Structure 1
């Protein structure tokens, strides 16, 4: 065993220990996190391969011999709290072969904490709920549950119920339609118009974006590709019709905005006061002109003018419709009607 001596926060290497000739410069920059991960892998491997040569260890981890010696010098001053002779890792490599001892705690298999296991279980269950063939997810979940139970015999097996039942039937129908390539009939709530619409859809895929589930498919009502929020699908029925999307149904690039304006959308120009200028950053737009007085002129493409009417009325004078004039008149009429009702009330 090496005779390691502790003096304050410095540890002296035993006499006769090999002095590294490594270069402090590495071919590529390495973060402390990356090096820590490698050391955690290296310790159990070295314990299983006592006496391995520095050159063979370097080949195993894709490093130079100098880098291996640098890692060993770091391990040499690591250990469990106390940091005396009994707690520090014993590393010897003075004859060109590596011998490691007193590192059994570090070499023990890492286990998930219960919080980590719950988080991972929740993520896998959410993923499996949208996959047509989720056998791999189910097998992984079963292994995770068994491993968690083995690590914490008194804690019980983790079982999460992530669904309150409101969306379970809808998602089941969507998965069935996608897997069987069948058309699905949706009762879909359109928030901008505060109404439920009926439409037939050929499903292309189900995706999760920013924590929200979406169905992308060819909508026969719009005769185009559309995104539908799954939580706004009030009912889904699998039809006995082929649900293969037409050749022109091209999936959208999810690196871009979810909702892409079409040629048939209405072009609207809004003018926003300084306190409402945030709409230029919040809503996808076709162009922005900023005035010296702080007002902003924003050009939007909208599929439904009701969205603009609600926005302008909600911001109560801080935003006005510059064009088209028909929409500006409609907003003014709604505002007058609301004011009349308020005065009567």
Structure 2
């Protein structure tokens, strides 16, 4: 490496070397030079700056105990041993929002992971919930989800009892699974229903007694494909206008036709299944997402907003 180090190289070294020394318990100057592709003199100069690095204390000043330190006698002999670390050895704590973001991200990735990776993702989610007390807003469908995944991986037909949106019970439904999808905090199975002889979508939270049969599924049917939510009997359409600062709202509706208005807003025609879930999603972007052509949804949104405001008034 050149004798001259850029600011970026120096910063990268200082960020990496302290965790490395904490993990190894210490290292020689020559070892660090080889590992970080630097000269021993460059390593020495940068290590010497450790004693001027730290986190200011309650007084706002950098006092002795607020700074990193090393064993200077060992350093004279060419060894780098940390004797004091600041902040890096503290256990990081995640906020509830950070945990929610991580769990949601893992759940969205879940459907595209292979079984081994999906198992790791589920383990991480379980640990986060256990350590932080975070409770997801979606239904608990652990056993059903595992059975559906197993049927998809094995290429087997599923058997289950089902309660539809109208409360009608059907026993022993047999479905050749085509895909597993997550939408508005719910898991859905898309598959070929033997009874209906057509593609159908089933919500996992309405399934019970789910069983993977020994019968081979027939995914080669031409009808088996990625589900379109507009095909669901419960699907409806609505036009929304979205401020440019709230375009994240449309990430759930990637296929929605959209037009940029003269005001800069984006108008989109979206398909939704759960009106209450849509209202909650809109409320996450107050004043920046508007429902244009559905008075019932607009009324529901206003009612929920008034209810939320009333809680503040009651508290005061």
Q: How does the TM-score come out when normalised to structure 1? A: 0.44
Greater C-alpha radius of gyration: 1
